Homo-oligomer: A and B are copies of this chain.
Amino acid sequence: MDFRARKKRAAVAVAAAGVDGLLVTHLPDVRYLCGFTGSSAALVLARGGATLFTDGRYTAQAKAEAKGTRVVIAKKPAVAAACEWMETAGIRRCGFDAAQTTVAVLESMRKAVSSGVRRGMFVSVGSLIARLREVKDSDEITLMRSAANLGCRLFDGMLDYLEPGLTEVAVAAELEHAARLAGAEAMSFETIVASGERSALPHGRASTVKLPKRGFVTLDFGVVLDGYCSDMTRTVHLGRALEGEREVYDAVLEAQEAAVAAVRPGVTSGDVDEAARSVLRRAGLDKYFSHSTGHGVGLEIHEGPRLAAKQTQVLEQGMVITIEPGVYMQGKFGLRIEDMVLVTATSGEVLTPSVKAWIEL
């Protein structure tokens, strides 16, 4: 990982925000900037350098993971130690991320510096590091390809496993077991297995319901590899389609593919959302598409950009996003199809190439 380049880009953003330094406390941001994965951490970016504060439990780990970043082992909470250090270092305007800082932590930051400098010391500067993280560097893209690939292999394996009468939790258990054995550190989020009528739930956690003889099964899952999340959804059909199911499936697939085809640098995330939504609108199904089209993914399962109606954020080369339209008809059935897509120089590259055509098992 090229932490040096990341810290450099961060330093540019800090300078542009008009502050002397930045206090980073959101753990995925800390990991992004220096590699440290411990649970107690505060990173200060200032004066062209970075200093990581953590506590005695992490002495060895910090040294090993945060190579190239100065490490301070503090006796007090990492945030307080970082703030005291900044005061001593002469930093008088420190940026912080209001979306990742609780009111209580801000209070502890204020208390850690002397009253003479407290006023004006801490400045909310937006989510600078989260914004940097939206555009993945080549190391990250390599890891995310691996995670996405593993997700596809696991899905393909499930096609041999799925059959009527299995409970949804048994399906989730099998998938998660295979993921672990294949090297996943964790699942990206609670595995969704939603079958039969439950397929109409956009977030149907695996339940003890049994897979039907005829009906949809939606699998939405992801694996974490080296900290990076994958995310994909496929909906397959057990037995022959019932009336109307095939038509809805084809409409969702067309919407999904239209949105993927709309991805390229320079378009807005709202344009991509509209590409999916307009297909479903023409099919009279848009009222059943009750969520947004996608989200960025990386060290966290949900990152920027957000792909939703009217969003104006412009897609950039290197972003990794999901495209996941769905249709949910309460009491009947539902389905969703989701890929991870890399924004390349000219288009969107699907990182999760598992088959999307209608599958009948």
Name A residues whose Cβ lies closer than 8 Å to a Cβ of B: 56-57, 60, 96, 98-104, 106-107, 124, 169-170, 172-174, 176-177, 180-181, 183, 185-186, 190, 202, 205-206, 208, 290-291, 330
- Chain B residues with CB under 8 A of A205: 185
Instruction: A186 to B277: give the CA distance in the assembly, Å.
Output: 33
Q: CB-nearest residue of chain B relative to A100?
A: B102
Contact of A172 with B176 in the complex, beta carbons under 8 Å: no
Given that A102-B100, A102-B102, A103-B101 are known contacts, is A181 also in contact with B173, CB under 8 Å in the complex?
A: yes
Contact of A172 with B183 in the complex, beta carbons under 8 Å: no
Instruction: A100 to B99: give the CA distance in the assembly, Å.
Output: 12
Give the 6 A-B residue pairs with the shortest CB-CB distance, closest first.
A173-B180, A98-B103, A98-B104, A177-B177, A99-B104, A173-B177
Q: CB-nearest residue of chain B relative to A185?
A: B205
Given that A180-B169, A180-B173 are known contacts, is A60 also in contact with B330, CB under 8 Å in the complex?
A: yes
18 contacts between A and B (CB under 8 A): A56-B290, A57-B290, A98-B103, A99-B103, A100-B102, A101-B102, A101-B103, A102-B102, A103-B106, A104-B124, A169-B180, A169-B183, A170-B181, A173-B181, A174-B177, A176-B177, A185-B205, A186-B190
- 8 Å CB contact of A176 from B99, B101, B180, B208: B180
Smallest distance from the beta carbon of A26 to chain B beta carbons, Å? 10
- Chain B residues with CB under 8 A of A206: 180
